[in-house]
């Protein structure tokens, strides 16, 4: 069982996210984005805390325009919680630890 955050590209999106057996938290980020650096430890925390029922991937926005467009990412950091081809929730901007854990708890109950 992978306990870390997996870095993916547009080419891997379908396999890693849409065909995953469990919900996937997709973290859209950019190297030039200051707030993204604040979010990174939280994303790692989510990957560790929910490793039994959630897959966590991160995708850099600039080299991967297809996924950015498909999920209408307007700013980074951005999170998309996806199960199969269904978008469960969508968040733009920095959020705190409590908010992130609350969102995951609410959406992972049924899995």
> What local confidence, expressed as pLDDT, does residue 57 receive?
98
> What local confidence, expressed as pLDDT, does residue 78 receive?
98
* Catalytic annotation, residues: 33, 36
Give phi and psi for 76, each to the nearest 5: -120, 150
> What local confidence, expressed as pLDDT, does residue 2 receive?
52
Cα separation values, 52 from 14, 21, 36, 46, 103, Å: 21, 12, 25, 11, 16
| pLDDT of the chain, 111 residues: tens digit per residue | 456 999 999 999 999 999 999 999 999 999 999 999 999 999 999 999 999 999 999 999 999 999 999 999 999 999 999 999 899 999 999 999 999 999 999 999 754
């Amino acid at each position: 069982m992978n306990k870390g955050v997996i870095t993916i590209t547009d080419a891997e999106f379908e396999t890693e996210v849409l065909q995953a057996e469990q919900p996937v938290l997709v973290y859209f980020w950019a190297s030039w984005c200051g707030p993204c650096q604040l979010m990174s430890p939280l994303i790692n925390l989510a990957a560790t805390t929910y490793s039994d029922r959630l897959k966590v991937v991160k995708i850099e926005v600039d080299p991967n325009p297809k996924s950015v467009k498909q999920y209408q990412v307007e700013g980074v950091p951005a999170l998309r919680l996806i199960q199969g081809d269904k978008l469960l929730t969508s968040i733009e901007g920095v959020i705190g630890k409590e908010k992130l854990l609350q969102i995951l708890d609410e959406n992972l109950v049924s899995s």
